[in-house]
Chain A
């Protein structure tokens, strides 16, 4: 019986241009995107950290990087990625503990993730860059 229901033809849409994700879906895919972005930028992040703590000369180099616009945009992207991954991650940990798993609560908490992560990113952008 179980096998028959699995084999039944079901409508499916995998066209990314027509899929409208609900808010929790957006939090989820951006969690993955931000994680992948942070992973790809690890060498850059470690290099920046290394420069910042190594010597007064490398620290000066580190500070001078913050003054160019392309660098600012990349760093702002990394700050957003970290904050979004952090906020969405806490939401997922709560969902794992069965906190707020009802549809309404889950949509609300997804909105909270954006409501926290975007202003926080702007604040860090203002303070650091």
Chain B
């Protein structure tokens, strides 16, 4: 039995849980959207756009994108932490990744709320 004293800011556990929670949200969304597409069977532009113009689908699609970007932040940050040793370069990559993901989130919102 090892008496491990847990110290620190605990962001590791928070991120671990967030990565899994966002994964579940995205998995559920994938199944819901798959079911909607199987039922509606959109044949052209009008029907396809109509799906995402629907208020509920628009909301959950945006929720999916937000989950995706949070999930990707944790995953990509882990990749940088595993393979990039020089601190300055790693920090730069972290900032670039975060900036890109925040930008994608705004882009996704713009796409959805134009509908």
> When A36-B79, A39-B75, A39-B76 are in contact, do A53 and B49 touch as well, CB less than 8 Å?
yes
Residue of chain A at shortest CB distance from B75: A35
Q: How many residues of B are in contact with the other chain, CB < 8 A? A: 22
User: Which B residues have a C-beta under 8 Å from some C-beta of A?
Assistant: 20, 23-24, 27, 30, 44-45, 48-49, 52-53, 72, 75-76, 79, 100, 104, 107-108, 111, 114-115
A125 within 8 Å of B by Cβ? no
Q: How many residues of A are in contact with the other chain, CB < 8 A? A: 21
**Dominant secondary structure at the A interface:** helix
Contact with B along A86-127 (1 / 0, CB 8 A): 100110010010000000000000000000000000000000
> When A36-B79, A86-B27, A93-B20 are in contact, do A54 and B114 touch as well, CB less than 8 Å?
yes
- Nearest CB in chain B: distance from A60 CB, A: 8
Are B114's CB and A52's CB within 8 A? no
Residue of chain B at shortest CB distance from A90: B27
User: Which A residues have a C-beta under 8 Å from some C-beta of B?
Assistant: 32, 35-36, 38-39, 42-43, 46, 49-50, 52-56, 59, 86, 89-90, 93, 96
Taking CB atoms, residues of chain A closer than 8 Å to B53 are 53
CB-contact partner of B23 in A38, A43, A53, A93, under 8 A: A93
